[in-house]
Amino acid sequence: MATLLFIDTAGEKALVGVSQNNALLAMEENNTPNAHANFVQIAIETVLKKAGIPIQTLDAIVVTMGPGSYTGLRVGLASAKGIAYVLNKPLIGLSTLALLAKTAIATKICQAQNEQLQIFSMIDARRMEVFGAVYNKALESVKPEQAIVLDTLYMQQLLLNGPLACIGSGVDKTATLLEHPNLFFLSETYSLQTCIELATIKFNAKAFEDLAYSSPAYIKDFYQKPASKD
């Protein structure tokens, strides 16, 4: 079984952990937004020390690729790439939307649904927009990751294909659009244990990222308002 280092800076909360044989050995968490850059390197040293794992014995570095915070994704991927390059270890990238879907599938609500169940993973963007993707109960992508403008018609069209469970930070505004007996809204979010499970699958399949060309899944280009000339 693999020894893996995890770096997740995709959201407001940052997580760094280390696992061995599918068990989480140590974890550090940062709940201060916009402070992930100062947190990551210290957290990596801390979790490896707590777990008693020499950094050279890691089998792979795992990082969330997004979608999520623009700055956070850059911080996490740069740190993960740097460690993987120096140690000559493989890099495993995880989709935050796939992690949310895997979390949803394990809930009692989703377990009780038939095989037509759809999982709508969504990360809040501006106004009525989300970065989202739709998965089936086998965690296969039905609709790829994309920027989606939510409205009632869009949700109704998804429901034509079967029950729909929504999960992620875009749930609150999605819930204002429509009520339907086959529409479910989940409050859960993914954990490092979910990351371990998905990363282990990728590690065993040797589904590694290209260190030279891998980049965060921003979905949309970052726009920064020009500074005022006044």
Tell whether 142 and 76 lie within a shared domain. no
Tell whether 63 and 133 lie within a shared domain. no
Which pLDDT belongs to residue 126?
84
- Phi, psi for residue 61 in degrees, rounded to 5: -110, 130
Which pLDDT belongs to residue 94?
98
Section 112-120 average pLDDT: 96
Any idea what DSSP says for residue 57?
Answer: G
- Is residue 225's pLDDT more than 60? no
Identify the band that residue 228 occupies on the pLDDT scale cut at 50, 70 and 90. very low
User: Is 227 strand, coil or helix?
Assistant: coil
- Is residue 223's pLDDT more than 60? no
> Could you list the residue range(s) of the whole structural domain that residue 173 is in?
108-186
In this structure, what CATH number is given to the domain that contains residue 7? 3.30.420.40
The string of pLDDT tens digits covering residues 10-47 is: 998 999 999 999 999 999 999 987 788 899 999 999 99
- Is residue 79's pLDDT more than 60? yes
- Residue 35's alpha-carbon distances to 14, 28, 64, in angstroms, are 9, 14, 17
Tell whether 174 and 197 lie within a shared domain. no
- What does pLDDT average to over the chain? 93
- Is residue 221's pLDDT more than 90? no
Is 128 part of any domain? yes
The string of pLDDT tens digits covering residues 173-205 is: 999 999 999 999 999 999 999 999 999 999 999
Tell whether 181 and 196 lie within a shared domain. no
pTM, to two decimals: 0.92
Section 224-228 average pLDDT: 42
Domain count within the chain: 2
Section 123-139 average pLDDT: 95
- Is residue 227's pLDDT more than 70? no
Contact between residue 128 and residue 178 where contact means Cβ atoms under 8 Å apart: no
Residue with token string 């029950």: 163
- Residue 187's alpha-carbon distances to 161, 165, 184, in angstroms, are 23, 11, 10
Which pLDDT belongs to residue 12?
87
Section 140-152 average pLDDT: 96
In this structure, what CATH number is given to the domain that contains residue 157? 3.30.420
Which pLDDT belongs to residue 220?
73
Tell whether 114 and 42 lie within a shared domain. no
